């Protein structure tokens, strides 16, 4: 029997907020050094599973959301923290995380992320507290708390292997609105894994009120050397990935 795959139905031309504008495709890699990385996967309701991603993508089965947080003690633009919410999906057969929205506490870094990698990023306070028995994440936008979760009872992971799917950012580019692949490199030195516990999540503030967390999957806290990449692939969100994906010139093919 031929297997069928769900296809996204999100109309990217009807989004209430315009996608960020990518200035050009000449972004150089940015080495962040060794930083704190928090990564949480959580199942979400399947009620609106197809409307969360555009036609170029397949929603993940089971549907899930990931929160990916970087805490950088120092950079060329100063210290910063970035919190992303990403919908699990596939482009062809490859797992990806479609960015819903992100929040950053450094406006200069936010401008860099928006114009060079197409991040949808807004100002917000991102706080991570690490304790022996839990890691706490709190994100606030203005005077509203929009995310509160803990990773409880973390245990050290031998070998530090934590899979983190490459990201897809919807952006306005010189060739039109495209999904921009952002696949950071991670060299993990230590990793702990525990059970995520979500206390509150304001889905509207993160860009999609239909998303409802249902069941925890995994949570990890890492120390890792992270490099934001040069841009390599673009995909037309209205086409199939096979027909609408373009490799940018002067770059190597992704693995």
Instruction: Please state whether the peptide bond connecting residue 62 to the residue before it is cis, i.e. omega within 30 degrees of 0.
Output: yes
pLDDT tens digits, 140-192: 999 999 999 999 999 998 866 789 999 999 999 999 999 999 999 999 999 99
Report pTM: 0.94
**Structure tokens, 85:** 């919410």
- Which of 158, 157, 177, 187 has its CA nearest to residue 238? 177
pLDDT tens digits, 65-117: 999 999 999 999 999 999 999 999 999 889 999 999 999 999 999 999 999 99
DSSP 93: T
* pLDDT at residue 28 is higher than 60: yes
pLDDT at 252: 43
Cβ burial of 103 (10 Å; 0-12, 13-18, 19+) is buried
Q: At 255, is the pLDDT very low, low, confident or very high (cuts 50, 70, 90)?
A: very low
Angle at 102 between CA 198 and CA 201, to 5 degrees: 25
Helix then strand count (H, E) for the chain reads: 2, 15
Please state, in angstroms and rounded to a whole number, the distance separating the CA atoms of residues 249 and 255. Answer: 16
φ/ψ region of 111 (left if φ > 0, alpha if ψ in -120 to 50, else beta) reads alpha
pLDDT at 93: 86
Query: Counting every residue, how long is the chain?
Result: 255
Beta partners for residue 191, in sequence order: 222
Beta partners for residue 223, in sequence order: 36, 190
Helix (H, G, I), strand (E, B) or coil at 117: helix
Give the chain's mean pLDDT.
Answer: 93
- How many CA atoms lie within 13 Å of 208's alpha carbon, on the beta-carbon side? 24
Handedness of CA 50, 54, 55, 57 (dihedral sign): negative
143 phi and psi angles, rounded to 5 deg: -100, 15
pLDDT at 4: 56
pLDDT tens digits, 32-71: 999 999 999 999 999 888 899 999 999 999 999 999 999 9
- Which of 200, 227, 229 has its CA nearest to residue 213? 200
Helix (H, G, I), strand (E, B) or coil at 214: strand
Please state, in angstroms and rounded to a whole number, the distance separating the CA atoms of residues 153 and 197. Answer: 11
83 phi and psi angles, rounded to 5 deg: -120, 125
């Amino acid at each position: 029997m031929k297997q069928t795959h769900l296809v996204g139905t999100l109309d990217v031309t009807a989004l209430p907020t315009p996608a960020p504008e990518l200035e050009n495709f000449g972004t150089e890699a940015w080495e962040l050094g060794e930083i704190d990385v928090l990564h949480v996967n959580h199942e979400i309701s399947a009620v609106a599973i197809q409307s969360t991603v555009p036609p170029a993508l397949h929603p993940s089965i089971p549907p899930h959301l990931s929160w990916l947080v970087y805490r950088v003690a120092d950079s060329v633009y100063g210290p910063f923290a970035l919190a992303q919410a990403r919908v699990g999906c596939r482009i062809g057969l490859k797992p990806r995380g479609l960015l819903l929205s992100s929040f950053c506490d450094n406006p200069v870094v936010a401008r860099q992320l928006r114009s060079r990698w197409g991040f949808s990023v807004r100002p917000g306070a991102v706080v991570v507290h690490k304790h022996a028995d839990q890691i706490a994440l709190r994100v606030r936008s203005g005077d509203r708390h929009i995310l509160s979760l803990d990773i409880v009872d973390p245990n050290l992971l031998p070998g530090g292997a934590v899979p983190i799917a490459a990201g897809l950012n919807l952006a306005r580019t010189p060739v039109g609105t495209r999904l921009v692949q952002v696949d950071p490199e991670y060299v993990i030195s230590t990793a702990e894994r525990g059970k995520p516990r979500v206390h509150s999540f304001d889905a509207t503030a993160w860009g999609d009120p239909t998303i409802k967390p249902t069941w925890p999957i995994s949570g990890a806290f890492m120390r890792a050397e992270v490099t934001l990449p040069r841009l390599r692939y673009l995909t037309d969100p209205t086409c199939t990935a096979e027909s609408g994906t373009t490799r940018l010139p002067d770059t190597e093919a992704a693995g």
